[in-house]
Amino acid sequence: MQKKLGILGLCAVLAGCGILPKETQDAPPVQAVADGQMRPQSRPETLDTSARRPPPTARTVEEFDTTTRDEREAAASAPVSAERALGSTIVSLGDPTRPGFWVETSLVSAPGKGRVVNPDTGQSAQVDLLPADGTGSRMSLAAMRLIGVPLTGLAEVVLFSGG
């Protein structure tokens, strides 16, 4: 009986190890510096801070896509400066509650501005490029709708930095 209680207690302790206080979960990552101490790093953030989050009651694509017609027109406009091709990637829908025009991809190592193109239609959108680990990429709901790729599948797109 004591052995069973000990095992249950150990399981409870181990299960609690994965639960961190909110302030720990939201803490910025740290970086080791030359003197061996750890220093906080700034957290990459979406470059478009004017975007609105969808309401908690959102259920449809239109309710989740909080971009305005003016924002969509601006994102669809031609780039104003030189661009550099990053390559093609397979995208899936990213967090639909995260507003704005963005692509998380392993093709960039730092946040920046760029453009995503649907090679099948030529439709494009100016986006915030955000670094991501792994293969493949995730794209915002608004960007996927603007360039005409399916929301429920995988699509190949071409990414450019700059613009």
pLDDT in tens, 30-53: 454 555 555 554 444 444 445 688
Question: How far is residue 16's CA from residue 155's CA, in Å, rounded to a whole number?
Answer: 39
pLDDT in tens, 70-118: 988 888 887 777 899 999 999 999 999 999 999 999 999 999 999 999 9
Residue 136: predicted pLDDT: 77
Q: Interior CA angle at 117 toward 114 and 127, to 5°?
A: 30
pLDDT above 60 for 129: yes
Tell me the average pLDDT across 121-131: 96
Question: How far is residue 97's CA from residue 29's CA, in Å, rounded to a whole number?
Answer: 23
pLDDT in tens, 15-32: 444 444 444 444 445 454
Neighbours of 47 (CB within 10 A): 15
Domain boundaries of the chain, sorted by first residue: 61-162
Question: How far is residue 25's CA from residue 64's CA, in Å, rounded to a whole number?
Answer: 25
Residue 62: predicted pLDDT: 86
pLDDT above 50 for 156: yes
Residue 133 identity: D
What is the architecture of the domain spanning 61-162? Beta Barrel (2.40)
Question: How far is residue 153's CA from residue 148's CA, in Å, rounded to a whole number?
Answer: 12
